[in-house]
């Protein structure tokens, strides 16, 4: 009696000798085999598709990436080259921002290496940031378009260049905008800061860090002038709270990892290439367009006052902080000794009321403003600011030299030129 194996696999190639009694078994097996083969085919087809799709997606990401590659690395290295004896190589975050662009130009002018980083967000018109980037590019400064929260990008930058310093100016600015988009402040001012510090702590060598805190951290403090030792635990806005959190976070990284860190509390910076959301900027725009301007007043109709500080004075403070920053002491994420941790006020020490600022703008614009006085809403603004700058003066000779009358004259000249009221715009010094 033939075996089942003989019945299913006969000696004559190409022919099956199937007994009628086993026909049902064969049909079942044949059907199962067919299904199995089809399943294998579909699995192979799916795997091939996924493999191809992955390759296409990877290629697409590579082609559309705004950083990476041999040419990109060459641009970064070239921009970071130092052109003076004893110079420094600085990564400037927020490089196409108001303060960032001015600091970058000043560093390049004296022969330091500068590489910029900016995400070109749309908090205000990105075209102004693009114009600043064009200006930086004309001076040989390369700006990388990317986000602070991109850990791979930051790691790559430090892999390409051994930066001696980081000038961290990238942040979500503005007090009132926090009411609309609070998450953006946490994303940039806290998460972005931590990501940058994580990169710096692991760098070898570790860079010294100078970063922008804010006079807003003084919050509801009523003691004037504001000193670095004053209370800063009563912030009046989310923006101020994130900056205060930044001071605590940077102190932690200094203590644990040996990073040399300097925090700068800026006081109401103004000047050419400024931020359109600032009062002096929007006042100028509305006055020229014949629109009313809103001027806030505090309790009992008291005029608000600000310690307006001209951009060139802020730049001098930033460079002085970089030059006196000291050295980080860690290596590979491990602390080798104590490193400097400092906080300084950078202001003008001469508060001016907002109505007087408007008077000066009217004088330089030769147009009367339509003033609309409104009681200050509870949106995070404070009634006054006034900087005590004795610490910065003692540490690195900080001394502001530009009064509001002079600074606003320079700003108005730039504004009229940039927005087509006069000749082609150029940076005013």
Which is the catalytic residue, given 124, 177, 239, 257? Answer: 239
Alpha-carbon distance 246 to 214, whole Å? 10
239 is catalytic: yes
Coil vs helix vs strand at 290 = coil
Q: What is the pTM of this model?
A: 0.83
Nearest to 306 by CA among 351, 275, 361: 351
Q: Which of 416, 197, 378 is nearest to 285 (CA)?
A: 416
Residue for token digits 């806290």?
190
H helical segments located in 269-428: 279-288, 311-323, 354-365, 390-396, 404-418
Distances (CA, A) of 353 to 12, 48, 368: 107, 70, 18
Q: Tens digit of pLDDT for each residue in 245-277?
A: 999 999 999 999 999 999 999 999 999 999 999
Q: How would residue 379 be classed by pLDDT, with cut points 50, 70 and 90? A: low
Q: What's the pLDDT at 301?
A: 83
Chain-centroid distance of CA 40 in Å reads: 51
Task: Give per-residue pLDDT as tens, 180-233.
Answer: 999 999 999 999 999 999 999 999 999 999 999 999 999 988 899 999 999 999
DSSP SS3 for 357: helix
For residue 237, which phi and psi values (nearest 5 degrees)?
A: -150, 160
**Sign of torsion over alpha carbons 154, 191, 307, 126:** positive
CA trace torsion 231, 237, 243, 245 (10° rounding): 70
Confirm if 111 and 82 have CB atoms less than 8 A apart: yes
Q: How confident is the model at residue 380 (pLDDT cuts 50, 70, 90)?
A: low
Percent of the chain at pLDDT > 90 equals: 75
Q: Do the Cβ atoms of 180 and 213 come closer than 8 Å?
A: no
Q: What is the pLDDT of residue 20?
A: 42
* pLDDT tens, position by position, 79-90: 999 999 999 999
């Amino acid at each position: 009696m033939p075996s089942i194996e003989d019945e299913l696999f006969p000696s004559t190639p190409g022919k099956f000798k199937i007994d009628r009694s086993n026909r049902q078994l064969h049909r079942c097996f044949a059907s199962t085999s067919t299904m199995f083969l089809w399943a294998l085919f579909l699995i192979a087809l799916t795997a091939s598709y996924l493999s191809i799709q992955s390759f296409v997606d990877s290629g697409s990401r590579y082609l559309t990436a705004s950083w990476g590659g041999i040419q990109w690395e060459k641009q970064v290295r070239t921009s970071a080259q130092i052109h003076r004896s004893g110079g420094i190589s600085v990564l400037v975050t927020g490089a196409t921002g108001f303060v960032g662009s001015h600091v970058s130009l000043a560093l390049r002018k004296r022969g330091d290496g500068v590489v910029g980083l900016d995400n070109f967000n749309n908090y205000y018109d990105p075209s102004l940031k693009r114009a600043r980037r064009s200006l930086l590019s004309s001076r040989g400064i390369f700006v990388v378009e990317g986000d602070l929260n991109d850990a791979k990008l930051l790691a790559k930058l430090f892999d390409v260049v051994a930066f001696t310093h980081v000038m961290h100016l990238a942040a979500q600015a503005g007090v009132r905008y926090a009411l609309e988009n609070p998450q953006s402040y946490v994303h940039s001012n806290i998460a972005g800061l931590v990501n940058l510090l994580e990169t710096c702590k692991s760098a070898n060598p570790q860079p010294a860090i100078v970063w922008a805190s804010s006079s807003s951290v003084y919050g509801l403090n009523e003691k004037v002038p504001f000193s670095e030792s004053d209370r800063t635990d009563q912030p009046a806005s989310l923006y101020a709270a994130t900056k205060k959190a930044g001071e605590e976070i940077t102190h932690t990284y200094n203590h644990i990892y040996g990073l040399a860190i300097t925090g700068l509390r800026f006081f109401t910076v103004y000047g050419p290439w400024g931020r359109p959301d600032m009062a002096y900027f929007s006042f100028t725009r509305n006055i020229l367009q014949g629109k009313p301007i809103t001027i806030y007043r505090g309790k009992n109709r008291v005029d608000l006052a600000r310690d307006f500080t001209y951009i060139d004075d802020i730049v001098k403070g930033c460079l002085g902080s970089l030059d006196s920053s000291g050295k980080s002491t860690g290596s590979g994420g491990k602390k080798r000794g104590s490193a400097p941790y400092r906080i300084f006020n950078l202001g003008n020490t001469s508060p001016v009321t907002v109505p007087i600022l408007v008077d000066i703008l009217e004088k330089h614009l030769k147009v009367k403003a339509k003033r609309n006085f409104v009681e200050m809403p509870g949106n995070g603004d404070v009634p006054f600011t006034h900087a005590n700058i004795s610490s910065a003066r003692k540490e690195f000779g900080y001394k502001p030299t530009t009064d509001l009358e002079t600074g606003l004259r320079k700003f108005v000249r730039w504004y009229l030129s940039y927005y087509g009221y006069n000749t082609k715009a150029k940076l005013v010094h």
